[in-house]
Amino acid sequence: MNSMEITAGEYALGLLEGAELAQFERQLAHDRALQVEVARWQMQFSDLDATAQPQTVSAALWNRIESSVGAAAATSRETKPGIAELLWENLGFWRGASFAGVAASLMLAVSVGLLAGRATPVPLVVAVLLSDDASPGAIVEAFHDGRVVVVPLRDIVVPDGKALEVWTLFDKARGPVSLGLIDRSRRAQFSTSNLPARETQLYEITLEPATGSPIGRPTGPILMKGLAATPRI
Rounded to the nearest whole angstrom, what is the least distance from the CB of residue 93 to other proteins in the complex? 14
Q: How many CB atoms lie within 10 A of CB 40?
A: 14
Residue 228, beta-bridge partner list = 127
Binding status of residue 52 toward other proteins by CB under 8 A: yes
Rounded to the nearest whole angstrom, what is the least distance from the CB of residue 82 to other proteins in the complex? 16
Site for other proteins in 23-42 (CB under 8 A): 32, 35-36, 38-40, 42
C-alpha distances in Å from residue 135, one per residue of 11, 41, 58, 187, 219: 34, 29, 20, 18, 23
Task: List all residues 6 or more positions away from 174 whose beta carbon is below 8 Å from its beta carbon.
Answer: none
38 or 179, CB closer to other proteins?
38
Q: Is 212:182 a contact under the CB 8 Å cutoff?
A: no
> What character string, x for contact with other proteins (CB under 8 A) and - otherwise, covers 79-98?
--------x-----------
> What character string, x for contact with other proteins (CB under 8 A) and - otherwise, covers 106-135?
xxxxxx-xx--x------------------
Q: What is the maximal distance between C-alpha atoms in the chain? A: 67
Segment near other proteins (CB under 8 A); pick from 44-52, 159-167, 171-179, 217-225: 44-52
Q: Which of 44, 227, 30, 50 is nearest to 142 (CA)?
A: 227
Q: Is 180:165 a contact under the CB 8 Å cutoff?
A: yes
Can you give the binding site for other proteins, defined by CB under 8 A?
Answer: 1, 5-6, 9-10, 12-15, 17, 32, 35-36, 38-40, 42-49, 51-55, 57-58, 61, 64-65, 68-69, 72, 87, 99-100, 103-104, 106-111, 113-114, 117, 229-230, 232-233
